[in-house]
Amino acid sequence: MLQRRRFLLQALATAGAGTTVAGGAAVVPAAGEHVQSFSGRIVKRIALRYLLWMPPAASKPSAGWPLLFFLHGSGERGRNLAKLKTYGPARYAAAGRQFPFVLVAPQVREGMAWDSDALEALRIDLVARLPIDPDRVLMTGLSMGGYGSWNYAVDYPDRLAAIAPVCGAGDSDRAERIKHLPVWAFHGARDDVVPIADDQAMVDALKAAGGSVRFTVYPDVGHNAWEPAYADPALYVWLMAQRRSSPSHSSSA
């Protein structure tokens, strides 16, 4: 189903001596340097289509189910939701496998990349509407979705219990923001699409910051590291063992 939600971003600039106002009209500053300030509000409209798989009702924990986001790669963009069933957890769920978590696979339109604000808006909506444990929200993704997983985590560092990016990369300059977050990353040593060095830089930056990170490298695998990664039962056991260590108590938690 199509989810449309308004997501508000508050932009508050630093304080300073702004333009004076006289009689309701702005006074144009004189020639020369001036310290200015600005306060504004941006309304961002979010539109995401997605597939949702629910576990059997009888399996629901008292605090609610864990929630796993699966972010697709660039080849699955568009408006055909069937593309989402090609790889990863969505492929297994479509084939009838029952997971002990709610699985959501959103889709971005052709030519677009993952937007952290859109994912956050969707997370807020799902946690509000479904019996989900907000302290057990997890994210994984492949290729472009691996980038999206890394980026969402650093943009919203207190929202997730863990991430498992596959053949992606992150911004190592911001790695310290998620030093508290359990991470299990996967990459093929022969990847000629997303160089393993980019993922290694993020892993190294996290380790240097004192982070908890595992890095599995498949020596004879190219870009399709998602095949062995998502076929490994240990990944799902690890994901289910994670819980947000410092939950936010804000209204968007």
Q: Domain span at residue 153?
A: 47-240
pLDDT for residue 44: 83
Q: Is 129 a member of any domain?
A: yes
Determine, yes or no, domain membership for 14: no
**Distance from the Cα of residue 234 to its chain's centroid:** 21
Asked whether residue 8 is assigned to any structural domain, the reply reads no
User: CB-based contacts of 217: which residues, under 8 Å, 6+ apart?
Assistant: 186, 187, 188, 189, 196
Residue 247 lies in a domain: no
Please give the pLDDT value at position 251: 37
DSSP secondary structure of 150-171: HHHHHHSTTS-SEEEEES----
pLDDT in tens, 116-175: 999 999 999 999 999 999 999 999 999 999 999 999 999 999 999 999 999 999 999 999
131, part of any domain: yes
Our count of domains for the chain comes to: 1
Q: Is residue 4 part of a domain?
A: no
Q: What is the pLDDT of residue 8?
A: 44
What pLDDT score does 10 carry? 43
Question: Which of helix, strand or coil describes residue 73?
Answer: coil
Look at strands 213-218 and 39-53 and give their pairing. Answer: unpaired
Give CA separation, 105 vs 11, 29, 87, 209, in Å.
30, 52, 11, 31
Residues of the chain predicted below pLDDT 50: 1-20, 22, 247-252
Decide: 187 and 225 in contact? Cβ < 8 Å: yes
Cβ 115 vs Cβ 133: under 8 Å: no
Q: What are phi and psi of 94, to 5 degrees?
A: -65, -25
Closest CA to 162 of 175, 143, 172, 149: 149
Asked, for residue 41, whether it belongs to a domain, the answer is no
| pLDDT score at 29 | 87
Q: Whole-model pTM?
A: 0.84
> Can you give the pLDDT at residue 176?
96
How far apart, in whole angstroms, are the C-alpha atoms of residue 100 and residue 96? 13
> What is the domain-level CATH number for residue 182?
3.40.50.1820
> In this structure, is residue 210 part of a structural domain?
yes
